[in-house]
């Protein structure tokens, strides 16, 4: 399951990140790393952006970024 598939209010633990490159680096720079707990706050009507809470910070992720984050649902 990916972060993109979580519904608002659901939480999950990041199990791995997808492809290498600048998108992965951007995701890691925001604090989204394997082992982090992520809670989806809100998803825009068209699915972009996805607002999440990670390590006490509220972030906005693009749906292509969220699709690269593998989640183990809690």
Quickly state the pLDDT bin for 51 (edges 50, 70, 90): very high
Closest CA to 64 of 18, 33, 30, 31: 18
| Whether the Cβ atoms of residue 40 and residue 31 lie closer than 8 Å to each other | no
Give rounded-to-5 percent helix, strand, coil for the chain: 20, 40, 40
Say if pTM beats, i.e. exceeds, 0.75. Answer: yes
Name the CATH topology of 3-73.
SH3 type barrels. (2.30.30)
| Whether the Cβ atoms of residue 1 and residue 65 lie closer than 8 Å to each other | no
Which tokens go with 23? Answer: 């998108």
pLDDT digits (tens, 9 = 90+) for 1-43: 988 888 999 999 999 888 778 878 888 888 888 899 999 999 9
Q: What are 5's strand-pairing partners?
A: none
């Amino acid at each position: 399951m990916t972060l993109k598939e979580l519904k608002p209010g659901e939480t999950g633990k990041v199990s791995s990140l997808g492809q290498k490159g600048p998108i992965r680096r951007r995701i890691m720079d925001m604090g989204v790393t394997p082992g982090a707990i992520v809670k989806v706050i809100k998803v825009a009507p068209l699915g972009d952006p996805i607002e999440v809470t990670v390590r006490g910070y509220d972030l906005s992720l693009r749906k292509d970024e969220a699709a690269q984050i593998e989640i183990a649902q809690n």
